[in-house]
């Protein structure tokens, strides 16, 4: 069995789909379906079972073995809102939950592949997996950063022979199918597409942090590339560590909007004042250093924004 937490969410549901594409359906999806619309992400997928998040956490804490034979847990479940400042909630939901799964996998010799985040780098300009480059600037980022720190200590204190695989993926700006439920936290590709459909105008932030209008830059990575890296590590269980997962090249929000405009064959860009509540808590530039990922053997190329947007919007209009 393979367990996917957050399995009805964006990255989790795409991992389930990729496992199905391999002919695998002995999958336990764990999620919180209070928002029942997330069901649409897994309605076309085949799984063995579903568990609510709270019931799953209780089972993990009781050391339930889920019938034995769990090969791996993909831990994608988290509160991903960078605007959430309830620290107790975030640390319980993101940090303590992740620790409990880490130790369960260690006891049961299951592979543990979990979602970290490029937000751990904060407003820095060096995006390499080193402690000196990490300075989170919001609670979500801090929860991911602190768990990465916990994993580093865990890996340094446990011999390779005595433990199972533990891999953290520092996701950069992921976009693609099955993210529509995320609302305001959906990708700019999704929002620009809807805005152009509705008004013909894609709205971007005005300049900030020394960047011109719409020229803030992010490492936008397409979901299929993200999933491919996840499954590559599943196939290479001797590899552990924390790895950046981006393309290695930043592009501007203008690039993203223009790719959406090009796909539609119409539309224009406009700029709105930069939100006050994001000042000091916003990354105006990210670009993954993927040297560590390449060094362990992952060689495939990543899509650029124009190629990724085409794949994504082709999918959206086919639904």
Give the catalytic positions in this structure. Answer: 140, 182
CB atoms within 10 A of CB 6: 23
Tokens standing for 234? 């599943």
- Tell me if residue 281 falls in helix, strand or coil: coil
SS (H, E, C) 15-74: HHHHHHHCCCCCEEEEECCCCHHHHHHCCCCCCCEEEEHHHHHHHHHCCCCCCCCCCEEE
CB atoms within 10 A of CB 96: 13
Name beta bridge partners: 28: 3, 49
- Tell me if residue 145 falls in helix, strand or coil: helix
């Amino acid at each position: 069995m393979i367990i996917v937490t957050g399995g009805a969410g964006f990255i989790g549901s795409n991992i389930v789909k990729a496992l199905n594409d391999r002919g695998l359906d002995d999958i336990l999806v764990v999620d919180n379906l209070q928002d029942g619309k997330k069901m649409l992400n897994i309605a076309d997928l085949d799984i063995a079972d579903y568990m609510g998040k709270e019931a799953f956490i209780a089972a993990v804490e009781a050391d339930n073995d889920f019938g034995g034979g769990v090969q791996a847990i993909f831990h994608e479940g988290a509160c991903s809102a960078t605007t959430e400042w309830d620290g107790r909630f975030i640390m319980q939901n993101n940090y303590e939950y992740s620790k409990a799964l880490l130790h369960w996998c260690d006891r049961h010799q299951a592979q543990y592949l979990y979602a970290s985040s490029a937000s751990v780098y904060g407003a820095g300009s060096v995006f390499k997996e080193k402690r000196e480059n990490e300075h989170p600037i919001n609670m979500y980022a801090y929860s991911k950063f602190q768990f990465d720190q916990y994993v580093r200590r865990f890996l340094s204190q446990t011999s390779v022979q005595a433990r199972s695989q533990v891999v953290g993926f520092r996701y950069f700006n992921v976009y693609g199918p099955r993210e529509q439920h995320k609302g305001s936290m959906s990708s700019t590709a999704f929002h620009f597409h809807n805005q152009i459909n509705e008004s013909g105008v894609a709205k971007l932030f005005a300049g900030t942090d020394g960047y011109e209008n719409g020229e803030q830059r992010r490492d936008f990575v397409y979901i299929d590339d993200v999933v491919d890296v996840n499954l590559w590590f599943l196939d290479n269980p001797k590899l552990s560590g924390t790895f950046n997962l981006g393309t290695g090249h930043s592009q501007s929000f203008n690039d993203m909007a223009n790719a959406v405009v090009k796909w539609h064959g119409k539309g224009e860009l406009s700029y709105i004042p930069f939100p006050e509540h994001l000042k000091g808590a916003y990354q105006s530039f990210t670009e993954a250093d993927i040297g560590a990922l390449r060094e362990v053997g992952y060689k495939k190329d990543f899509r650029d924004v124009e190629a990724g947007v085409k794949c994504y919007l082709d999918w959206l209009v086919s639904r």
